[in-house]
Amino acid sequence: MSREISPYLFAYGFLKRKYHGSHKTQTPNFGHRFVSVGKIPGSIYKVDVFPGVIYEESSDEVVHGEVFELISPEVALKILDRYENAKPLVHLNPDYERRLRPVLTEQGIVECWVYEYLRPINPATKIHSGTF
């Protein structure tokens, strides 16, 4: 997929459907529709109360999540970058960076935005199931 702004998001933490509408996670409304479950190579860690993913293209381990199509990608990504404290919107001490990655879904490979954790992680907090 060769678009400047992909309309797809891979959610592996509080952006997953089960957290939508929760006052505890304060997940914002970002205008989307569920497409499929998916997975990426890499590892997921518990960072404070939320998860962080480290994408590793050659990893045998996978992170499980959900793929959403964003109704208005430009608007949704600004909302999500702010919620995730992520680059490219946030430049001062970001926690994540939004990057395009290939996600394996039930329909095949889809290029999706993934929020990858930028700060140091504690290996002891790895979530071995790959699911948060």
- The owner of tokens 């891979």 is 10
Q: Which domain holds residue 57?
A: 8-125
Confirm whether 31 is domain-assigned. Answer: yes
Confirm whether 2 is domain-assigned. Answer: no
Going along the chain, which residue ranges are E strands?
8-11, 32-47, 50-55, 62-70, 86-87, 96-105, 108-117
pLDDT of 1 above 70: no
pLDDT of residue 24: 86
Confirm whether 121 is domain-assigned. Answer: yes
Mean pLDDT of the chain: 94
Confirm whether 108 is domain-assigned. Answer: yes
Confirm whether 131 is domain-assigned. Answer: no
By percentage, how much of the chain surpasses pLDDT 70? 97
Confirm whether 130 is domain-assigned. Answer: no
Confirm whether 19 is domain-assigned. Answer: yes
Looking at residue 21, which CATH number applies to its domain? 3.10.490.10
What DSSP element (H or E) covers 118?
none
Give the pLDDT band of residue 2 (cuts 50, 70, 90).
Answer: very low
State the Cα–Cα distance between residues 74 and 28, nearest whole angstrom. 15
pLDDT of residue 4: 64
User: What pLDDT, in 10s, does the model give residues 72-83?
Assistant: 999 999 999 999
How many domains would you assign to the chain?
1
